[in-house]
Amino acid sequence: MSTTIRFTLVILSVLLVSSSLGGVTAKLLEQNLMERNIFERWLVENHKNYNGLGEKDQRFQIFMDNVRFVQEHNSVPNQSYELGLTRFADLTNEEFRAMYLRKKMERTRVSAKAERYLHKVGDKLPDEVDWRAKGAVVPVKDQGSCGSCWAFSAIGAVEGINQIKTGELVSLSEQELVDCDTSYNEGCNGGLMDYAFQFIIDNGGIDTEEDYPYAATDVNMCNSDKKNTRVVTIDGFEDVPENDEKSLKKALAHQPISVAIEAGGREFQLYQSGVFTGTCGTALDHGVVAVGYGTSQEGQDYWIIRNSWGSNWGESGYVKLQRNIKDSSGKCGVAMMASYPTKSSSINPPKPPPPSPVVCDKSYTCPAKSTCCCLYEYKGKCYSWGCCPYESATCCEDGSSCCPQAYPVCDLEAGTCRMKANSPLSVKALTRGPATATTKATNKLVSSA
């Protein structure tokens, strides 16, 4: 949440108190104007658009209800964590859980038990660990409204152990798991990290994020060419001893760990900073990555958890989750289903050659993983090309914009791309870039732009 919006919330709190005490019409008008301004700034900051009739007013009412919830929590002295206007502040808690969480995560196979990281009396562990500082964690990613948290959790753990063993941090493909790991896992409808590890082992490796980018959908067929591009390998996987925070700490001292938590509470939805000690149970519904642990200045122990909801949630995409609680399952069930990949070799398969550019015609190309869009056509021949920065994109009829595969319907009037013709879900339309001339163009009607 930006500093501007946070400061405005403080002023709004004063106005709310003033209006309740005095009932002055001018104060109420001023309050309403400020509420609208906060909402508009939040919309810009979070790149939100609404297409449905009355949708914006409905979202505003939900937003203000969440504002009041945030203010009520933050007004209590000595809280260990703060709430804020996260990217989910225009959703009810029911909508949030339906869109970003899926069915309860439960092991349906025998646990891969191991004693590698079983805590033993006399074990000496560091007081704090942060794998981000050690270069083993890629920047926070965003799963979108696809329930693919399991893929992000598993990939984050694989990225970590690969960096530890090879010294190279490589961002790997969650989309390959979503598209291709379908024997047990269910794409956007949920899955388990252990099955993802098993897929990577059986496949002989996993491709990079750059070559097989995330699309936030599971409607695509598995790309067999990219599935067979094995850039990073693992040897196996093991489960951390269940319901044992000391063993989880020991494991985390050695590598990033895939964990599952219950993340469906309203406080978690609007978490902004601090050590989360709020309400949550053990109905595991979200896969994340534990990347460290520490203790706050106030003496509160915590886990460092990397989420997959983008950087405009929590502490730039992370949450400090309370550690060392009385319940053996850990806060939000963090110690119930922890697992990790194993890797012994410091060598991965040879890197594949760089991807070839996309050929538009004999005279023009676009960069790899993009789409050629004709700008000017005459009698069936295209005389100028532009490039949409996504594969399998829709080229809009205005000649300058395009839409990603997951949002293929061009709304030229709104400048957005819809998921379906009448869907309220949309993203901002993309702008085409110029195509590259590979040979001297033979036509002189126009130049490529």
- Whether residue 402 lies in the annotated active site: no
- In which element (H, E) is residue 13 found? helix 3-22
* SS3 call for 428: strand
CA 356 to chain centre: 28
Distance (Å, whole) CA 396 – CA 417: 9
Would residue 119 show up in a list of annotated catalytic residues for this protein?
no
Task: Give the chain's length.
Answer: 449
Q: Which helix (H) or strand (E) holds 153?
A: helix 149-166
Choosing from 146, 149, 366, 395, the catalytic residue is 149
Task: Please check whether residue 357 is in contact with residue 366, taking contact to mean a CB–CB distance below 8 angstroms.
Answer: yes
Instruction: Give me Rg for the CA atoms of the chain.
Output: 24
Token match 């260990």: residue?
Answer: 80
Nearest to 71 by CA among 21, 8, 9: 9
- Considering the candidates 307, 332, 360, 403, report the single residue annotated as catalytic: 307
Contacts of 127 (CB under 8 A, 6+ apart): 294, 295
Encoding tokens for residue 46? Answer: 């979070």
286 as an active site residue: the answer is yes
Q: Are strands 436-437 and 364-366 parallel, antiparallel or unpaired?
A: antiparallel
Q: How far are the Cα atoms of 393, 410, 436, 442 from residue 377, in angstroms, in the given order?
A: 19, 20, 17, 15
Strands 271-276 and 318-322: parallel
DSSP state of 404: -
| Residue 110 tokens, joined | 């025998």
Q: Do 372 and 358 meet the contact criterion of CB atoms below 8 Å apart?
A: yes
The active-site residue out of 66, 146, 286, 366 is 286
Catalytic amino acids?
A: 149, 286, 307
